[in-house]
């Protein structure tokens, strides 16, 4: 099998990875922050609560999740 096919439609010809370095930006300690999507009614209610408390929505959601996790652990 040819390592460099003449007609490779996956990448444009002007992209050259011949000097690329595998793993250059890999960081073992890096944390991936996944987006969490709320349905509209839940987000609206939580946003109103966060505004009333004077905190960011993400702060309120994290507080609520921590409390729920504590309850789950206590019930074990």
The rounded distance, in Å, linking the Cα atoms of 51 and 60 is 10
Token pair of 25 as six digits: 């930006």
Q: Are 47 and 57 in contact (CB under 8 A)?
A: yes
Domain boundaries, the chain: 40-75
pLDDT at 58: 95
What pTM value is reported for the model?
0.60
pLDDT at 3: 59
Which portions of the chain are predicted below pLDDT 70? 1-9
What separation in angstroms does the CA of 17 have from each of 12, 23, 61?
A: 11, 13, 42
The rounded distance, in Å, linking the Cα atoms of 43 and 37 is 9
């Amino acid at each position: 099998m040819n390592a460099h096919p003449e007609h490779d439609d996956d990448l444009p010809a002007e992209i050259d990875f011949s000097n690329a370095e595998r793993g250059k930006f890999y960081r073992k300690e890096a944390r991936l922050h996944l987006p969490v999507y709320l349905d509209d009614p839940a987000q609206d209610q939580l946003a109103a609560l966060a505004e009333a408390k004077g905190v960011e929505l993400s702060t309120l959601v994290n507080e609520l999740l921590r409390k729920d996790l504590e309850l789950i652990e206590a019930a074990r």
